[in-house]
Amino acid sequence: MRIELGSDTLLGPGKAALLSGIRDTGSIAAAGRRMGMSYKRAWYLIDTLNKAFQEPLVFASKGGRRGGGAVLTSTGDTILDSYLRMERLASAAVAGELDLLASLMKPDS
Protein backbone atom coordinates (compact mmCIF):
# COMPACT_ATOMS: atom_id res chain seq x y z
CA MET A 1 0.00 0.00 0.00
CA ARG A 2 1.29 3.44 -0.91
CA ILE A 3 -0.10 6.62 0.61
CA GLU A 4 0.35 9.95 -1.13
CA LEU A 5 1.12 12.39 1.67
CA GLY A 6 1.75 15.31 -0.62
CA SER A 7 2.54 16.05 -4.24
CA ASP A 8 6.11 14.81 -3.82
CA THR A 9 5.87 12.56 -0.78
CA LEU A 10 4.80 8.93 -0.69
CA LEU A 11 4.79 6.50 2.20
CA GLY A 12 4.84 2.87 1.20
CA PRO A 13 6.34 -0.48 2.09
CA GLY A 14 9.92 0.57 1.30
CA LYS A 15 9.99 3.63 3.53
CA ALA A 16 8.07 1.76 6.22
CA ALA A 17 10.66 -1.03 6.09
CA LEU A 18 13.44 1.56 6.33
CA LEU A 19 11.83 3.19 9.36
CA SER A 20 11.33 -0.22 10.92
CA GLY A 21 14.96 -1.10 10.23
CA ILE A 22 16.11 2.10 11.94
CA ARG A 23 13.91 1.28 14.92
CA ASP A 24 15.41 -2.24 15.07
CA THR A 25 19.07 -1.40 14.43
CA GLY A 26 19.52 2.17 15.63
CA SER A 27 21.29 2.99 12.38
CA ILE A 28 20.33 4.42 9.00
CA ALA A 29 23.28 2.63 7.38
CA ALA A 30 22.39 -0.74 8.93
CA ALA A 31 18.72 -0.35 8.01
CA GLY A 32 19.69 0.47 4.43
CA ARG A 33 22.13 -2.47 4.23
CA ARG A 34 19.38 -4.77 5.46
CA MET A 35 17.36 -3.69 2.43
CA GLY A 36 20.26 -3.77 -0.05
CA MET A 37 20.20 0.03 -0.21
CA SER A 38 23.08 2.48 -0.15
CA TYR A 39 23.50 4.79 2.81
CA LYS A 40 23.07 7.76 0.47
CA ARG A 41 19.71 6.46 -0.79
CA ALA A 42 18.53 5.59 2.75
CA TRP A 43 19.54 9.03 4.02
CA TYR A 44 17.75 10.72 1.10
CA LEU A 45 14.50 8.84 1.86
CA ILE A 46 14.71 9.71 5.56
CA ASP A 47 15.49 13.34 4.77
CA THR A 48 12.44 13.48 2.47
CA LEU A 49 10.20 12.10 5.22
CA ASN A 50 11.71 14.38 7.87
CA LYS A 51 10.97 17.42 5.70
CA ALA A 52 7.39 16.33 4.94
CA PHE A 53 6.18 16.24 8.54
CA GLN A 54 5.86 18.95 11.17
CA GLU A 55 8.44 17.13 13.29
CA PRO A 56 11.24 14.85 12.09
CA LEU A 57 10.62 11.10 12.07
CA VAL A 58 14.27 10.18 12.59
CA PHE A 59 16.94 11.81 14.72
CA ALA A 60 20.48 10.97 13.61
CA SER A 61 23.66 11.69 15.52
CA LYS A 62 27.00 11.98 13.75
CA GLY A 63 29.76 9.45 14.22
CA GLY A 64 32.74 9.95 16.41
CA ARG A 65 34.63 7.95 18.99
CA ARG A 66 31.45 6.20 20.05
CA GLY A 67 29.97 6.11 16.55
CA GLY A 68 26.75 7.68 15.38
CA GLY A 69 23.29 6.33 15.37
CA ALA A 70 19.69 7.01 14.57
CA VAL A 71 16.42 6.64 16.41
CA LEU A 72 12.81 7.13 15.51
CA THR A 73 11.31 10.11 17.24
CA SER A 74 7.91 9.76 18.90
CA THR A 75 6.44 11.16 15.66
CA GLY A 76 8.37 8.55 13.69
CA ASP A 77 7.01 5.77 15.91
CA THR A 78 3.48 7.15 15.50
CA ILE A 79 3.77 7.38 11.70
CA LEU A 80 5.26 3.90 11.34
CA ASP A 81 2.72 2.29 13.68
CA SER A 82 -0.14 4.09 11.90
CA TYR A 83 1.09 2.94 8.48
CA LEU A 84 1.42 -0.67 9.65
CA ARG A 85 -2.12 -0.55 11.10
CA MET A 86 -3.50 0.86 7.85
CA GLU A 87 -1.69 -1.85 5.90
CA ARG A 88 -3.23 -4.59 8.07
CA LEU A 89 -6.71 -3.03 7.82
CA ALA A 90 -6.45 -2.64 4.04
CA SER A 91 -5.29 -6.24 3.63
CA ALA A 92 -8.21 -7.52 5.68
CA ALA A 93 -10.68 -5.32 3.77
CA VAL A 94 -9.65 -6.64 0.34
CA ALA A 95 -8.97 -10.28 1.24
CA GLY A 96 -12.20 -11.52 -0.34
CA GLU A 97 -11.58 -9.65 -3.57
CA LEU A 98 -8.02 -10.98 -3.75
CA ASP A 99 -9.36 -14.51 -3.29
CA LEU A 100 -11.80 -13.90 -6.16
CA LEU A 101 -9.02 -12.66 -8.45
CA ALA A 102 -6.84 -15.62 -7.51
CA SER A 103 -9.66 -18.05 -8.29
CA LEU A 104 -9.96 -16.59 -11.80
CA MET A 105 -6.25 -16.87 -12.63
CA LYS A 106 -4.87 -19.55 -14.91
CA PRO A 107 -3.31 -22.38 -12.87
CA ASP A 108 0.28 -21.64 -13.98
CA SER A 109 0.15 -17.85 -13.55
What is the pLDDT at residue 7? 79
Task: Write down the pTM of the prediction.
Answer: 0.86
In 3D space, the residue among 24, 39, 27 whose CA is nearest the CA of residue 77 turns out to be 24
DSSP state letter for 101? H
d(CA 14, CA 45): 9
The contacts of residue 50 (CB under 8 Å, 6+ apart) are 56, 57, 58
What is the pLDDT at residue 106? 94
What is the pLDDT at residue 56? 97
What is the pLDDT at residue 62? 80
Point out the residues of the chain with pLDDT beneath 50: none
What is the pLDDT at residue 66? 66
What is the pLDDT at residue 108? 83
